[in-house]
Structure 1
Amino acid sequence: MDFNADHFSLFELPRTFRLDAALLERRYLQMQLLVHPDRFASAGDAEQRLSLQWATRVNEGYQTLKKPLLRAKYLLRLAAHDLGSENVPADFLVEQMEWREAVEEARAAGQHHELEHLHHRLKRDIVERHEELALLLDDQHDLGQAADRVRRLMFLDKLLVEIDEAIAECEE
């Protein structure tokens, strides 16, 4: 195995945003069987260290590729395209403020059902944005627009965490 290989090469997958999740899972499990430190428990120190390094690398690659946002960021990095810190358009920021206000109102009122509704609505929006990313990265190879969508998705992922935390508070 090559420590310089990118995550896609490590799992023998095409370098694309669209990914066969079941195939990634199978390849991950196969790799874990090969490099898991338990297999090298009776080996020498050098082999044990190497096994641990490989297991870490395999886990890191798997975690990166299985999550769409991390996979998109990784693809941009592989393409040497800086994600940048360009400003997000004002209309998107206004939309974010409206989402946060709705979450805060539902949280303050203890409206578990409303928070669940917001969660599902946001999840649908995120899935649609993942589909858009697939078009931009795999079909159009528009790294600039893809970077913009990744920055937006970073906001949405944070918002989803906030909603989930609010739901957990309501359940307590």
Structure 2
Amino acid sequence: MNYFELFKFSPAFDIDTALLAERYRELQRAVHPDKFANDTEQQKLLSVQRTAQVNDGFQTLKDPIRRAEHMLSLRGIELSHETTTVKDTGFLMQQMEWREALEDIRDSADPQASIDALYQSFAEYRAQLTQQLTQLLTSEQAEDALLAADQVRKLKFMAKLHDELTRVEDALLD
């Protein structure tokens, strides 16, 4: 299913999330199962299915990584269950540096400063990746779609690493 069509958006990485939320509420009102309480069982079932599609579409489009994955899936590139790894050696080296910095936080003289520095580093790198991804997703070239898929893989890694850093920070605060 094309969630952009469902929510009446042109496929684009940058979307108006406030408008997305507004359209979500409109769709929910239109297909909510309570609206079909007195209808046939088939109508009720269709309503439940449609509500699930609307919910899934909203969750997909509101999350930038899932939105990019959806855009790529519309172009025949499925990333949601893949195990392909990033082959960019520069990114792999950066991963190693971040992992080492993450491991060194507990022994740091100023753990909070180390955490803040990592958050800043993540934000800067993620901003670069997102900017590149936005450009690649606007291209119609198949090669650019493959490059966009690599950017999404990197962003997924960044999200996991960000979660790890948050857990380390939470553990230090306890």
TM-score (norm 2): 0.84
Partner residue in 2 for 1:104 = 103
Q: Distance in 2 between matches of 1:125 and 1:87?
A: 15
Q: Distance in 1 between matches of 2:170 and 2:131?
A: 29
Offset from partner CA, 1:77-118 (integer Å, 9 cap, x none): 110135572642222111101101111211455823421331
Q: Is the 8 A contact 1:119 1:164 kept in 2?
A: no
Q: Distance in 2 between matches of 1:89 and 1:48?
A: 49
Partner residue in 2 for 1:154 = 156
- In the alignment, structure 1 segments of 5+ residues that lack a partner are none
- In the alignment, structure 2 segments of 5+ residues that lack a partner are none
Partner residue in 2 for 1:165 = 167
Partner residue in 1 for 2:91 = 92
1:11 aligns with 2:7: yes
Within 5 A, what are the aligned runs for 1:108-119? Answer: 109=108, 111-119=111-119
Q: Distance in 2 between matches of 1:148 and 1:51?
A: 37
Select which of 17, 20, 24 maps to 1:21: 17
Q: Distance in 1 between matches of 2:140 and 2:2?
A: 22
Q: Is the 8 A contact 1:64 1:74 kept in 2?
A: yes
Q: Distance in 2 between matches of 1:17 and 1:139?
A: 11
Q: Distance in 2 between matches of 1:97 and 1:134?
A: 26
Partner residue in 2 for 1:56 = 52
Opposite residue 30 of structure 1, the aligned amino acid is: E
Question: By how many angstroms is 1:8 displaced?
Answer: 0.4
**Structure 1 residue ranges (4+ consecutive) displaced by more than 6 angstroms after TM superposition:** none
Opposite residue 158 of structure 1, the aligned amino acid is: K
Question: By how many angstroms is 1:133 displaced?
Answer: 0.7
Q: Distance in 1 between matches of 2:125 and 2:18?
A: 23
Q: Distance in 2 between matches of 1:59 and 1:159?
A: 27
The structure-2 alpha-carbon separation of the partners of 1:118 and 1:87, relative to structure 1 and needing over 3 Å to count, comes to closer
Q: Quote the RMSD (CA, aligned, Å).
A: 2.2
TM-score (norm 1): 0.85
Partner residue in 2 for 1:67 = 63
Partner residue in 2 for 1:144 = 146
